[in-house]
Chain A
Amino acid sequence: MNSRTPDKAGVKLGMWLFLYTEIMLFGGLFILYAVYYSKYTGVFIEAGKSLDITIGALNTVILLVSSFTVASAITAVQKKAQRSAITLVGISMVFGVLFLVNKYFEWGHKFEAGIYPGSPDLSDAEAGKSLFFGLYYLITGLHGIHIIIGLILLSISLYFITTKRIHATRFAVLENSGLYWHLVDLIWVFIFPLFYLIL
Chain B
Amino acid sequence: MHDLTQRTRPGANGTSGPNGTAARRRSPRELVPALAPLLGLVVLTVAFVVVGTVSGVNMSYSVQTLINQSVVIVIIATGAIFIFAMGSFDISLGASTLVAAMVGGLAYNATESLVAMLVACILTAVATSLVSASLAAVFNLPVFVTTVAMLSVLGAVAVALVQTTGGAQIKVDSSFARQYDTLPVKLSVAVAFLALCVFLFTYTRLGRVEKLIGGNPVTARLTGVSMKKTAIAAFAIAGLGVGLGAFLTVLRTPTMTTSSAADIGMNVLVAMVFGGMPISGGPRTRIYAALLGGLSMAVLNQTMTTLLATSSAGNGISQVVRALFFLAVVWVATSGHRSKLLPR
A interacts with B: no
